[in-house]
Structure 1
Amino acid sequence: MFKQDKKDIFFDLDHTIWDFDKNAEETLDELYYQYRFDQLFEKEEATEFIETYTVNNHRLWNLYHHGKIDKAELRRARFADTFTALGVDPNLFPKSFEEEYLAICPQKTNLFPHAHETLSYLYTNYNLHLISNGFKEACEVKLAKSDLNKYFKNIFISEVVGVNKPDPRIFNFALDKAAAQTNSSMMIGDNIDADVRGAMNVGMDAVFFNPGQMDKPKDIPYMICDLKELQTIL
């Protein structure tokens, strides 16, 4: 199936192991009422706010992956753009909301189904590593609170390395530091450009994690919809 037997498996974190959208939704729902956004937006339910934020956040993260915006702009714009989209002056957004969101959300522990089960299985047979475009302080909290550190020999965070996926330099840096060979390594992630094509561009096999069951692009050879599938193919 793959180029050759695998020894080193590299994972993405957000949207692949750690369920970013579910954890963000829980946090935003709590803060929505705490900050009386139901009155500000004249919407009793937080649904529209969360959905609008999610769209903006995904769009801005894609820009961040490709170096078109920085960390500060991502954090500023995701809530400002949400306010604007919902017809409310973004200047009314309280700074303390963002601070509480950043403090609470990484402590949430919702993972994708079969995450611990699959990582435990792989841990006994492969060297596991992590490559994340997330921010250092948030990644460290997520990994600790969700008891994920124990699986990974190396954790590479783009903010620390200095380049984001899909830049080939972060994959080559990770391969070098892990003493891993390209042909015997594989990347697993949800982002087609950052994770999958990024890894393929340096010669690694890559698996597209697609829990939403979107159509698979023709240039992507391997796809799973549940992490448990890795127990069959590896």
Structure 2
Amino acid sequence: MNTPKYTHIFFDLDHTIWDFDKNAEEALLELYVLHRLHDIGLTSADAFIETYTQNNHRLWREYHVGNITKETLRAARFKQTFLDLGVHPDAIPNGFEDAYVKLCPTKTNLFPNAHETLAYLQSKYTLHLISNGFKESQDIKIGNTGIGKYFTHVIISEIVGANKPDKAIFEYAINLAGVTREECLMIGDSLEADVLGALNFGMDAIYFNPFNAPKPDEVPVQIMNLKELITLL
């Protein structure tokens, strides 16, 4: 990579720095016990978490591209999970979504080497976050994990009014930073929202691929551990 031209690096938050799935699993295990889900027929916490994860990822993909709203995502992900697992609609626990939204963002698991990598990069570049997550949750995640000190700007899609991969949010980000797209690099886990969104905007991108998913040919650079950025950049 022709790294000397970069002055600003934009990171995704969920699934890139903040380990969404690990934090969600911790929260769901607590809520499984608290809401006595075993008593309504959910005998496997693992099956509950796996089904929720599939539904949540699917709905977030729909949200990224503007097919559903925040309200639809939050209303559907647990309702669909309970229904998929055979729970009668009348037996779905009241307030489960609200309890999850309050608990999950308080979890503090980051991907390995996050602090070390961000501290190194901050010494060489100006760092920012661009997130499609919801502001109230992202503020808690950033505060509880102590990563806010690394970032000059935190750009949240629902505040901007456009989600990644929409070019409008990348345009907003570089204007806020006062730089050109050629000076910037985007790093994220979502091929569609982060990587292809940035590349289509004209900004270079690195694919964070910790689970070694297939990499499309049009994606030039990938990493599997954040620490690789110390060597690359």
Q: Which TM bucket (shorter chain)?
A: over 0.9
For residues 17-36 of structure 1, what are the structure 2 equivalents within 5 Å? 17-36=17-36
> Following TM superposition, by how much is the alpha carbon of 1:90 offset from its aligned partner in structure 2, in angstroms?
3.4
> Following TM superposition, by how much is the alpha carbon of 1:92 offset from its aligned partner in structure 2, in angstroms?
2.5
Q: Deviations over 1:66-119 (max 9, x none)?
A: 000000110011001101111112343223221111111101000000000000
Residue of structure 2 in register with 1:160 after alignment: 159
**Secondary structure at the residue paired with 1:128?**
strand
Contact preservation (8 Å) 2:191, 2:207: yes
Is 1:190 matched up with 2:189? yes
For residues 195-206 of structure 1, what are the structure 2 equivalents within 5 Å? 195-206=194-205
> Following TM superposition, by how much is the alpha carbon of 1:33 offset from its aligned partner in structure 2, in angstroms?
1.1
Contact preservation (8 Å) 1:64, 1:74: yes
> Which amino acid is the alignment partner of residue 130 of structure 1?
L
Point out the more displaced range, 111-120 or 178-187: 178-187
Residue of structure 2 in register with 1:132 after alignment: 131
For residues 210-221 of structure 1, what are the structure 2 equivalents within 5 Å? 210-221=209-220
> Following TM superposition, by how much is the alpha carbon of 1:38 offset from its aligned partner in structure 2, in angstroms?
1.2
Residue of structure 2 in register with 1:86 after alignment: 85
Q: Deviations over 1:182-209 (max 9, x none)?
A: 1110000000000000000111100000
CA–CA separation in structure 1 for the residues paired with 2:162 and 2:146: 26
> Following TM superposition, by how much is the alpha carbon of 1:4 offset from its aligned partner in structure 2, in angstroms?
5.5
Q: Deviations over 1:97-153 (max 9, x none)?
A: 211111111010000000000000001100000000000000000000000110000
**What are the ranges of 5 or more consecutive residues in structure 1 without an aligned counterpart?**
none
| Aligned CA distance change for structure 1 residues 80 and 114 (closer, same or farther; 3 Å) | same
Contact preservation (8 Å) 1:2, 1:205: no
> Which amino acid is the alignment partner of residue 20 of structure 1?
F
> Which amino acid is the alignment partner of residue 167 of structure 2?
P
CA–CA separation in structure 2 for the residues paired with 1:95 and 1:102: 13
Q: Deviations over 1:9-59 (max 9, x none)?
A: 00000000000000000000011011110121241x300000000000000
| Aligned CA distance change for structure 1 residues 64 and 42 (closer, same or farther; 3 Å) | closer
CA–CA separation in structure 1 for the residues paired with 2:189 and 2:34: 32
> What number of residue pairs does the alignment pair up?
233
> Which amino acid is the alignment partner of residue 163 of structure 1?
A
**Secondary structure at the residue paired with 1:201?**
helix
Residue of structure 1 in register with 2:141 after alignment: 142
> Which amino acid is the alignment partner of residue 78 of structure 1?
R
Contact preservation (8 Å) 1:166, 1:195: yes
> Which amino acid is the alignment partner of residue 92 of structure 1?
A
Contact preservation (8 Å) 1:120, 1:151: yes
Residue of structure 1 in register with 2:39 after alignment: 39
CA–CA separation in structure 2 for the residues paired with 1:149 and 1:198: 24
CA–CA separation in structure 2 for the residues paired with 1:157 and 1:5: 26
TM (normalized to structure 2)?
0.97
Contact preservation (8 Å) 2:42, 2:48: no
